[in-house]
Amino acid sequence: MEQENLVVQMKGISKVYPNGIAANRDVNFTLRRGEIHAIMGENGAGKSTLMKILFGLEQPTSGEILVNGEPVVINSPNKAISLGIGMVHQHFMLVPSLTVAENIVLGMAPTKSRVFVDYKKAVEIAEENATRFNLRIDPNAKVVDIPVGMKQKVEILKALVRGAKILILDEPTAVLTTQETSELFKELISLKEQGFTIVFISHKLKEIKQITDRLTIMRNGKSMGVYETASISEEEISRLMVGRDVVLEVIKDKAQPSETVLKVRDLEYTDRWNKKMLDKVSFSVRKGEILGIAGVEGNGQRELVEMLFNLNVPDAGTVYANGKSLIGMPQNIIRDQGVSLVPEDRMTYGIADIASIEENVISDRFGEKRFNRGPLFNMREIHQESETLIVDYRILAKSRKQQVKMLSGGNIQKVVVARELSSQPTLLIADQPTRGIDVGATEFIRNQIVELSRNGSGVLLVSADLNEVIELSDSLIVMYGGKIVAYFEDTDQLDDITMGEYMLGLKHQTEEEIAKVCYE
Amino acid sequence: MSSDRRLLLFNLLRGAAAIFLALLVATALIFLSSKEPLTALKYLLLGPVISFKSTGMVFNTVSFLTILAAMTPTIFSGLAVCVMFSASQFNLGGEGVIMLGGFVGALLGIYLKLNTGLHQVVCILAAAVVGGLVMLIPALLKVKLGASEMVTSLMMNYIIMFIILHFLNFTFADRSKGATQSFPFEATAKIPEIVSNGTKLTWGLVIALIFVVIIALFMYRTKWGYAIRMVGINQSFAQYSGIQVGMIIVLSQVIGGMLSGIGGSIEMLGRYNTFLWRELPGYGWIGITVAILAKNNPIFVPLAALFIAYLDKGCQLMSINSDVPFEMIDIIQAAIFLFFAAEQFLAKYRQRIVVRNAQRDLALQEAAVSREGKLS
C-alpha cells in the first residue's frame, strides 16, 4: 500500500562533479503522491543537484531512481517530462520577446497546415490551462513586460501543459514579494488538491511550515532525514540545517579595534521587483577588527556590498569610509580611500578571464608612477610586481603570462586576493572569499585576512558559510530580510543553534542591542 | 617547445588552414562554373605577382608594387578597427571617416599654401583631428545615452558622405571639368612615390608601417592600451578595478577616428590629384576584414592587409582574363570568415593540446610539492 503511493524513489544517490566536488553523498529521497515536499538546506547543501538529477539535467555517479515503482534512467529533461516530471528553475527559462502563450507552447506549438504557428490556438491552449489550474495570466502579453510573479506562473503552466504530474520548484519564493508569495501558495495548494505532487526547494522556515506536508533536510550533500512537517519544530529544522559537521579553528590574537574606518547609516534599497532588500541598515567597522555579516544568502548581503563599492545606488542612507562619502563615487576614488573588495562573483567582477595573471593583478594600480616611464609602461617593474605577488600569494601557475581562466578556482581567487590585499587597504570588504575553492586555498586566504586585520586594517567579512563567519570574525552581525537582526560583540561564545535561529528569522534582538554595532 | 608557443603555432596554422580551405571552396566553385577553370585559377593565385608571357613566367614587379600600394589605406583602417574592437566597441564608422579624412586632406591640399613637407603634415594632422572629433559622436552617444555605437556609426557613414557630396557639388567643384571633382592639389601637398614608376606606391606605406609599430606599442605597452583591452575583455571588471570605463570607450573610438582620418588623407594625397570620391571608398569595410584576420593584434595587420590586397588583385585579373566574375572575391572572403570565426574549427585538436598541457603541469606541480615536502 505504502509502496504504491510513492511516485518517486531515489535510492543511494551520489554525485561527484568533474571538479571533484561531491554534491550528493548517498542520498535517499521519496515522494508520496499528492504531497508538497520541501527540500531544505543551505546553499551548497546539494538540494539543487539532487533535483537536477531527478529532472535529467545531471547524471548521478551512483544510485537508483524509481518512478511509479519502475526503475528508470533519466538522461535528459525530455525523458523526465515524458515521465511526468516538470521543473521550474530559479532563473526563469523563458523567451522574453515572445508572448506568454507562445512561451507556453514553445516546442510543441499547434500549427496550421503543419507549417504556420496557429497563434489563436496557442492562446486558447494557454487560457484553457490557466483556467483549469487556476493560474491567472495574460496570454497575449510579452514575457519581457510581465512581473516576476506572472513569469513564474508561466513557467508552472509550461510544465503542466507538457503533462507534468510532479512539479519541482527551485526556490520559487526567492524572487517574489510577500503578496506574490501568498498567491503562489494558494495556487500550489489548489494544484495539490487536484492530485499533483510538488517538490519545494527552499531555506525559508516559515514558508515551509506553512504549506508543506513533509520535508527532507540536506547538509553538506547528505540527507539529514525526512520529517512530517507538523511534527518537527522550527528550531529543530534550523539545527539540522545549519549545524556544523567539523568545527574549524582559526588561530588569531584578540582584536585591538581602534578608530572607525567604515560608517554605514540607514541604508535602504528596494530592488526593481519591488522587494525591500535593505531596510535601515546601520553599522560601523573599526580598524584592527573583522566584522562578520552572517545570514542565509539573499537577505540583503549582496546588495549591501554593492552599495559600499558603488556598483549600485541605495534609495537612502549614507556610507563613509575614512570620513569620505562613497555613494555615487567612481571606483578609483573609492579605492583611493583605501577600500578594496574581494567580490562575491569573481568571474564577473574579480578577473578578466582571457587576460594574463600579470594583467589581472595590476588592474587597480597600473596607472601608478612606478609602473610607467613617460608614456610607456615600465615592464620591468610590472613583471617584478606580478612575480612577487605570484610567490607571496602562492598562485600555482606556469608563468605570469598564463591566462587566468586556465587556473583552478582556488588559484583564480588567489589572484583576486593578491590584488585586493596587496594594495594595503584600510578597509577590506571580503564577500564570500572562500566559496567553492579547495581547502588549501581557503586556509591560506583566511590567514591572509586575519593577518591584514591584525596589521591594523578594518575587515568586513560577508559569508554564508557559518563556520567561516564565526571563526574568522571578531564580532558579528546577522542579516535577515534586509535587516540587521542581531549583533554579537564577541564570537567566542556563539553556537550554531543560536545563530541558526537568528539567520532563519526565528529570533531578533532589540534595537538597542543592534545599535551597539554603530559604536556611538 | 613551450606549450604557450605550441598554442600560438597552432593558432597560426589554424589561420593558414582556414585560408587554404576557403581557397579549396573557391576552386571547387570555379571548376563547377567556369569553362576555363585552370586559366581562372592561374590568374587568381599567381596573377598578382607573375606575368604569363609566351617565353614563360616572369615576376611582375609593377603589379607587386601596386598591391603594396593598395595595402596602405587598409592598414590604417585595420588598425583603427583593432583599437575599437579591442575595447569591444563595434564602431563601423571607419568608412565615412576615411572619406572625410580624404576630403579634409584634399581641401587643405588645395587651398593652403605651405612648403612641401610641412604641407603634407598639416593636411594629415588636420584629417586626424577631424576624424577623432567625428568619432566623438557615436562614442558620446554610447556613453551618455547608451545608444549602440554600431547603429549610430553605421548611419553616420551616409550622413558624412552626403555632407561631403553637398559641399563638393556646391562649393568646391571645379566647374571647368566635365565630372564633379575638386580643383587639383598643390604639388607641395602630394605624398611622393617611393619609386616613380606609376605604381603610386608612396611613402604613405612607410608611414602606415610606422603606425603599426606605434599602435602595437600603444595597445600592449601603455596604460591606455591596457585599459582599452581590459574594458574590452570584461567591462564590469574594469569598472570595479577603478578604470574609468566611459572615458576609455570614448578614447578607443577617438583613436579609431584619428587613424581612419590619417589613412583617408594619405590615400587621397598619395594616389589622387583631385578629390573625386563620389561614394564611400570601401576601405573601412576592408579594415574590418583585416582586423578580424589579424585577431585585433596590430602586428598582424600588415600581413592581413597584404593578403586581402593580393586576393583583390587576383580576382580582378581572373575576371579580366577568364569567364569567372570578380564577385568570386566575396565568396572566398565569406568562406575565410566562416572558417576563421568558427571557434570549433579544429577545436578537438586544440582541446587535446590544452588537456595534455594541463596534465603535464599537474604532474610537475605534484613533483614540486613532494620535493618540497621531503626538504622540509
Put simply, whether B216 touches A (Cβ < 8 Å) is: no
One-letter amino acid for residue B174 of the chain: D
Rounded to whole angstroms, the Cα distance separating A315 from A312 reads 10
The dihedral through the CA atoms of B150, B151, B152, B158 has a sign that is: positive
pLDDT of residue B2: 52
pLDDT of residue B375: 47
Beta pairing, strands A214-219 & A197-202: unpaired
Alpha helices in A252-378 (DSSP H): 301-308, 331-336, 357-361
How far is the first Cα of chain B from the last one, in angstroms, to the nearest whole number? 33
Q: For B102-161, what is each residue's pLDDT tens digit?
A: 999 999 999 988 888 899 999 999 999 999 999 999 999 999 999 999 999 999 999 999
Contact between B240 and A396 using a beta-carbon 8 Å cutoff = no
Going by C-beta distance under 8 Å and a sequence separation of 6 or more, which residues neighbour residue A358? A382, A383, A386, A400, A401
Domain-embedded: residue A45: yes
Q: Looking at residues B272-300, what average pLDDT do you find?
A: 91
Put simply, whether A377 touches B (Cβ < 8 Å) is: yes
* Cell numbers placing B322: 577568364
Contact between A331 and B239 using a beta-carbon 8 Å cutoff = yes
pLDDT of residue A340: 96
Q: Residue with C-alpha cell 586555498?
A: A441
Eight-class DSSP state of A25: E
* Cell numbers placing A424: 594595503
Beta pairing, strands A475-480 & A62-67: unpaired
pLDDT of residue B32: 87
The CATH number assigned to the domain holding A69 equals 3.40.50.300
Rounded to whole angstroms, the Cα distance separating B254 from B134 reads 8
B164, B105 contact by CB (below 8 A):
no
Put simply, whether B3 touches A (Cβ < 8 Å) is: yes
Structural domain that includes position A416: 358-423
* Cell numbers placing A34: 499528492
Domain-embedded: residue A344: no
Q: How many CB pairs under 8 A join A and B?
A: 72
Angle at A201 between CA A409 and CA A312, to 5 degrees: 55
Identify all chain B residues contacting A375, using CB atoms and an 8 Å cutoff.
222
* Least Cα separation, residue B369 to chain A (angstroms): 11
Domain-embedded: residue A348: no
Number of separate domains in chain A: 3
pLDDT of residue B351: 60
Rounded to whole angstroms, the Cα distance separating B78 from B82 reads 6
The dihedral through the CA atoms of A479, A480, A486, A488 has a sign that is: negative
Contact between B242 and A354 using a beta-carbon 8 Å cutoff = no
Average pLDDT, chain B: 87
* Cell numbers placing B184: 587639383
Identify all chain A residues contacting B240, using CB atoms and an 8 Å cutoff.
309, 311, 331, 341, 343, 349-350
Put simply, whether A331 touches B (Cβ < 8 Å) is: yes
Domain-embedded: residue A369: yes
Contact between A348 and B4 using a beta-carbon 8 Å cutoff = no
Residue B277 pLDDT exceeds 80: yes
Which of A331, A366, A402 lies nearest to residue B240, judging by beta carbons? A331
* Least Cα separation, residue A366 to chain B (angstroms): 6
Instruction: Indicate the residue among A184, A207, A242 that finishes a domain.
Output: A242
Rounded to whole angstroms, the Cα distance separating B111 from B171 reads 13
E strands of A366-502, at which residues?
A: 372-373, 376-377, 427-431, 458-462, 475-480, 483-488
Nearest residue in A to B218, CA atom? A376
* Cell numbers placing B216: 602595437
Identify all chain A residues contacting B4, using CB atoms and an 8 Å cutoff.
398-399, 401-402
pLDDT of residue A4: 66
Q: Are residues A110 and A44 in the same domain?
A: yes
Q: For B346-371, what is each residue's pLDDT tens digit?
A: 666 666 666 566 556 556 555 655 55
Residue of B225, B260, B209, B251 whose CA lies nearest to B81: B260
Instruction: Indicate the residue among A375, A390, A423 that finishes a domain.
Output: A423
Residue B318 has a CB neighbour count (10 Å cut-off) of 27
DSSP B12-77: HHHHHHHHHHHHHHHHHHHHHH-SSHHHHHHHHHTTTTEEEETTEEEE-HHHHHHHHHHHHHHHHH
What are the angstrom distances between the C-alpha of B335 and each of B27, B301, B348? 12, 20, 21
Domain-embedded: residue A351: no
Q: Are residues A381 and A437 in the same domain?
A: no
pLDDT of residue B59: 86
Contact between A343 and B230 using a beta-carbon 8 Å cutoff = no
Decide which of A145 and B6 is more confident: A145
Domain-embedded: residue A191: yes
Residue of B220, B221, B245, B219 whose CA lies nearest to B231: B245
Contact between B242 and A350 using a beta-carbon 8 Å cutoff = no
Q: Are residues A371 and A504 in the same domain?
A: no
Tally of helices (H runs) and strands (E runs) in chain A: 18, 24
Rounded to whole angstroms, the Cα distance separating A270 from A278 reads 7
Contact between B223 and A379 using a beta-carbon 8 Å cutoff = no
A415, A407 contact by CB (below 8 A):
yes
Rounded to whole angstroms, the Cα distance separating A93 from A86 reads 13
A342, A428 contact by CB (below 8 A):
yes
Which residues make beta-bridge pairs with A341? Answer: A429
Q: Are residues A274 and A237 in the same domain?
A: no
Domain-embedded: residue A346: no
Q: Are residues A88 and A125 in the same domain?
A: yes
Contact between A372 and B223 using a beta-carbon 8 Å cutoff = yes
Contact between A353 and B4 using a beta-carbon 8 Å cutoff = no
Buried b (16+ CB within 10 A) or exposed e, B354-370: eeebeeebeeeeeeeee
Which residues make beta-bridge pairs with A27? Answer: A13
A100, A146 contact by CB (below 8 A):
yes
3-state secondary structure (DSSP) of residue A335: helix
Q: Are residues A377 and A469 in the same domain?
A: no
Identify all chain B residues contacting A364, using CB atoms and an 8 Å cutoff.
241-242
* Cell numbers placing B82: 583593432
Split at pLDDT 50, 70, 90, the class of B16 is confident
Rounded to whole angstroms, the Cα distance separating B316 from B46 reads 12
* Least Cα separation, residue A348 to chain B (angstroms): 6
Rounded to whole angstroms, the Cα distance separating B114 from A351 reads 52
* Cell numbers placing A234: 522550527
* Cell numbers placing A189: 495548494
Nearest residue in A to B368, CA atom? A396
* Least Cα separation, residue B220 to chain A (angstroms): 9
Put simply, whether B233 touches A (Cβ < 8 Å) is: yes
Q: For B57-97, what is each residue's pLDDT tens digit?
A: 888 888 899 999 999 999 999 999 999 999 999 999 999 99
Instruction: Indicate the residue among A196, A216, A242 that finishes a domain.
Output: A242
Rounded to whole angstroms, the Cα distance separating A350 from B248 reads 19
Alpha helices in B146-244 (DSSP H): 149-170, 204-221, 223-233, 235-241
Domain-embedded: residue A63: yes
Q: Are residues A418 and A434 in the same domain?
A: no
Nearest residue in A to B366, CA atom? A396
What are the angstrom distances between the C-alpha of A437 and each of A411, B276, B360? 8, 64, 22
Identify all chain A residues contacting B229, using CB atoms and an 8 Å cutoff.
355, 359
Put simply, whether B5 touches A (Cβ < 8 Å) is: no
Tally of helices (H runs) and strands (E runs) in chain B: 14, 2
pLDDT of residue A150: 86
ipTM: 0.83
Residue B345 pLDDT exceeds 70: no
* Least Cα separation, residue A423 to chain B (angstroms): 12
Residue B87 has a CB neighbour count (10 Å cut-off) of 28
Q: Are residues A47 and A135 in the same domain?
A: yes
E strands of A271-337, at which residues?
A: 276-286, 290-294, 316-321, 324-325
* Least Cα separation, residue A385 to chain B (angstroms): 15
Q: Residue with C-alpha cell 501568498?
A: A182
Q: Are residues A431 and A406 in the same domain?
A: no
Sheet holding A70-72, edge to edge: A22-32, A6-16, A62-67, A70-72
Name the phi and psi angles at A220, rounded to 5: 50, 40
Put simply, whether B373 touches A (Cβ < 8 Å) is: no
Q: Are residues A333 and A459 in the same domain?
A: yes
Q: Are residues A161 and A258 in the same domain?
A: no
Eight-class DSSP state of A473: -
The pLDDT tens digits along chain A (520 residues) read 456 688 999 999 988 766 556 788 899 999 999 999 999 887 667 888 899 999 998 888 889 999 998 999 999 999 999 999 999 987 788 888 899 999 998 888 788 777 788 888 889 989 998 888 888 888 998 888 888 788 888 999 999 998 899 999 988 887 777 778 888 899 899 999 999 999 998 877 888 888 999 999 988 788 999 999 999 988 888 888 876 655 566 778 888 888 999 999 999 999 877 788 999 999 999 999 999 999 887 889 999 999 999 999 999 999 999 999 999 999 999 999 999 999 988 888 999 988 999 999 999 999 999 999 999 999 999 999 999 999 999 888 888 988 888 777 778 889 999 999 999 999 999 998 987 676 777 888 899 999 999 999 999 999 887 888 888 999 999 999 899 999 999 888 888 778 888 888 888 898 888 888 888 7
Put simply, whether A119 touches B (Cβ < 8 Å) is: no
Split at pLDDT 50, 70, 90, the class of B19 is confident
Q: Does an H or E element contain A472, and which?
A: helix A466-472
Q: Are residues A191 and A255 in the same domain?
A: no
B234, A351 contact by CB (below 8 A):
yes
Contact between A331 and B236 using a beta-carbon 8 Å cutoff = no
